[in-house]
Structure 1
Amino acid sequence: VLASVSVLSALGWWRWDNLKTTLIWAGGSALLSLYNFQKISTGKAYFKSTMVDAAGLAAVVAFVTASHTFSLATELVIAAALILLSLVVALSDRAEKLRSIHLGGMAIMIVLALLMLGNSIYYSITHLSDFASADTARDFAIPILLTVMFLPFLYCLHLYSVYEGVFASFHFSMKDPTLRRYTAWKLIRELRADTVGLLRWQHHAALFPPQDAAEIDASIAEVRKVRRLSVRPPKVSPRFGWLPHLATTFLDNAGLRTNAYRRTHDGWRASSDYLDLGKAPFPNNIAYYVEGAELTVAKLKLVLNINAPEEAEQAQERFSQFASLLANAAIPGWPLSGQDLDIKINEQPVVMNGYALALKKRTWTGGIPGGYDLAFTIEVEDSVCK
């Protein structure tokens, strides 16, 4: 922040009059960005949302709020209070036990913001000639410029964090220090700033620990190949399956986002986290899985786990909705087929448009009384026949 302010000051774009705006920006958006810098892994969406926050309606409101300055001592007290409240709100956000503190901090910030906004609007209206000036325009531009200059630092921090985690993961698994140095050098040289690739390699190395330099080279080459295919996927005929980068997103909008499609000991696969249904202490849940080969996904599976039999009926209704969504997304021409998703449990697969649909129920013999799971699968017909 000091470096950014120094550059802007040298260019004549920052003056001491902008101190309050800078302190509020540093204690607010900059501090929260540091706390949540891992979100940079979402890629372009993070940078876009950050710039929208910096130059959007919220930024205009914040600018109007800060347009009327008090005495220096008062301004420093206000800035310190806002920074302290921002810290309280940020640090209590993820702790359920501190929920009341989080809500209280938010309430105080809202009251202070409304008081400052009302005061600034009144001052701007009554002193319009002072408000519409070059100094005002510069004060509005300062947070935007600081945000633009801050993003490269956040990206470097994210990149450093990823490398630190990857290096720590093999520091103890590789006993040979020479091999550790070679691996670190190879990752930096081959993957550079590809944080997604680095995390993929970390997962791959955990499943298939490399034992020598040749296996290190092979594992990095595999990760780079997968990354190239995700950017420029090959054309695949529907009768062979689905492209992995598409199959893993079929249920994103329904809350079942999968992890990366990776090679495991049982083939290539990806899976979502469990999505809880209902309010039972140990709720029913749904998960989504994709399975196949390196270039094609051959099987989609939606699994419902009935952990609370008293809420099974509602859970099965939600499960049917998810299954219909999956069929609509996965089967070409499904919305035009005029056929409802009516599949009998534990019967032969139903073939539609070249795909085999099946519904299997498995009753649990131990554990939860009355518990069971339902698995809805969509597979390429040829693979089922084989």
Structure 2
Amino acid sequence: MPFTAADFGFDLSNREIATLIYLGLLLAAVLLWKKGRPNALKVVRAFFAPKIAPVWLLMSLYVAACVWLLAWLDLWEWANLKSTLLWWLTVGFAGVFEAQQLKDKPNMLRKLVRDAFTLSAVVLFIAELVSFPLWVELLMLPSLTFLTLLIAVAERQTDEPGVALTMKLLRGVQILAGLTILGFSYWLVANRVNEFWSLSTLRDFGQPLLLWLMFIPFIFLLAVYMTYEEAFKHLQIRPKQTSIVRYARWRALLAFGWNIDGVKRLVRDIQTRDITEKEGIKEAIQEIKQLLKVEKNPPTVSQAEGWSPHAARLFLLEYDLATDDYHRTQWDWFAHIPSVKLNEKVLADRFSYYLSGNERAVTRLRLALNGSNQNDTNEAQRAFDERAVTLLAKAFDAERAATIYAGAQTDEPEELEIDGIQVSLNRTDWGDAHSGGYVRNLIVKHPKHQEIH
């Protein structure tokens, strides 16, 4: 019996045909454009660069192994080949970039698992289950793409007059288009339940989900590998530490394994504390492992000592100003988050939050606003006031926070003392009134704090 394209799942829908037509036109345009051909070749060469090509190969072999396992469990058949190839070309390759994000934000692993089970996965599947006539798909695809690009551009121009109203209109059109597509899809599915809901359809829905769940360990291990490579590469360019890089890498691997956070802390400590001997690396590893244990069950810190580091780093969490881990430097104990944008403007004002003190307690809190006179200074001041009152509510109590902040503003730049704790505001200006800027600080200093000179 001869095989047909449908036996391998290649009975293309009108939406897939329209997508292939536009991709073919785009490819032809790039190849026919003299200036575009060299750039296209550069992209291809970069994609298959010696450092990244093995990653694509390894990822492809891993996906093939996952498919073989699903087939062995009777959860995959040749009719799923098309959807599997599409998954490999889209989700599989995008997963490599997820590893980069996971390297920077280890907590994203839970989100990756959770996203696979969201309602949106079901909604998207049903929306893709049916398609419009080909002529409609040919008109709809570029229109929706253009609409999405308009919204993306408008989001970068929020400070321009009239953009807010335009954004509301564009998003309204986008929502209407989405509801129309979903409504049409659900209506067709509801009226032809027996045709759409079959064992084959269920397999089409479950197979990408199973592949994604099986692919997450690969993303995680790739993130671990990338963390080791990137972290210790920075040490190799530091003359003093070149001789201990290999030793530090193996000690980190034995001590932390796939604990990305532990590895990054070790490399940071080696750099900031200028560790150049093997004994110093051993001590740093022991200290990090001890701190990781303490963070799981933080000790109670009395008001007479200062503030708990594990609580203080989250004082401004609601404003995305949670600091990194509280750690030892050459001078004192420290944690910070150096730059969080106030809005989506290209040159937006930025907030920073710093902690310092001793091993047991934070004794100094600092909130900083790095502002530009070209931005809305009233908006920036309101945002600073809001965060400052929140910080004071955590450092003292909610009842007195507003009063303390008002007193600090009255006494500025002198220090206001409350329960022995000094609260001060200051501002440093630079440049001129038009193109310059300023740094605004709120500092809360405990009597136990010792200044490092």
TM-score by length of 2: 0.66
Residue equivalent to 1:341: 405
Instruction: Tell me the CA shift for residue 337 of structure 1.
Output: 7.9
Deviations 1:221-241 (A, max 9, x none): 222222222222222112212
* Structure 1 pair 8–234 and aligned structure 2 pair: CA distance change class (3 A): same
TM-score by length of 1: 0.77
Cα distance in 1 for residues equivalent to 2:427 and 2:180: 60
2:439 corresponds to 1:377: no
Cα distance in 2 for residues equivalent to 1:312 and 1:177: 47
Instruction: Tell me the CA shift for residue 117 of structure 1.
Output: 5.8
Residue equivalent to 1:253: 318
* Structure 1 pair 382–49 and aligned structure 2 pair: CA distance change class (3 A): closer
* Structure 1 pair 19–123 and aligned structure 2 pair: CA distance change class (3 A): farther
| Matched ranges for 1:1-386 at <5 A | 1-41=63-103, 42-44=105-107, 46-67=108-129, 121=186, 123-173=188-238, 179-276=244-341, 284-308=349-373, 311-331=376-396, 333-335=397-399, 339=403, 341-343=405-407, 344-351=411-418, 354=419, 356-364=421-429, 367-368=431-432, 372-383=438-449
Cα distance in 2 for residues equivalent to 1:187 and 1:338: 47
Aligned residue-pair number: 356
Retained in 1: the 8 A contact 2:339–2:350?
yes
Retained in 2: the 8 A contact 1:65–1:113?
no
Deviations 1:31-59 (A, max 9, x none): 33322223324345x23332333222221
Retained in 1: the 8 A contact 2:126–2:185?
yes
Instruction: Tell me the CA shift for residue 284 of structure 1.
Output: 4.7
Residue equivalent to 1:104: none
Cα distance in 2 for residues equivalent to 1:133 and 1:269: 59
Structure 2's unaligned 5+ residue stretches are: 1-62, 157-173
Instruction: Tell me the CA shift for residue 166 of structure 1.
Output: 2.2
Retained in 1: the 8 A contact 2:389–2:401?
no
Instruction: Tell me the CA shift for residue 176 of structure 1.
Output: 8.3
* Matched position secondary structure for 1:274: strand
Cα distance in 1 for residues equivalent to 2:216 and 2:287: 31
Retained in 1: the 8 A contact 2:422–2:445?
yes
* Structure 1 pair 261–116 and aligned structure 2 pair: CA distance change class (3 A): same
Retained in 1: the 8 A contact 2:389–2:402?
no
Instruction: Tell me the CA shift for residue 294 of structure 1.
Output: 2.0
Deviations 1:234-290 (A, max 9, x none): 221122122222211111211323233232233122222334558999665432211
Cα distance in 2 for residues equivalent to 1:291 and 1:138: 55
Cα distance in 1 for residues equivalent to 2:402 and 2:240: 61
Cα distance in 1 for residues equivalent to 2:339 and 2:373: 15
Cα distance in 2 for residues equivalent to 1:144 and 1:200: 34
- Between the aligned residues of both structures, percent identity stands at 27
* Structure 1 pair 166–284 and aligned structure 2 pair: CA distance change class (3 A): closer
The alignment yields a C-alpha RMSD, in angstroms, of 4.1
Deviations 1:291-341 (A, max 9, x none): 11122111111123454188544433332211101112232x433788463
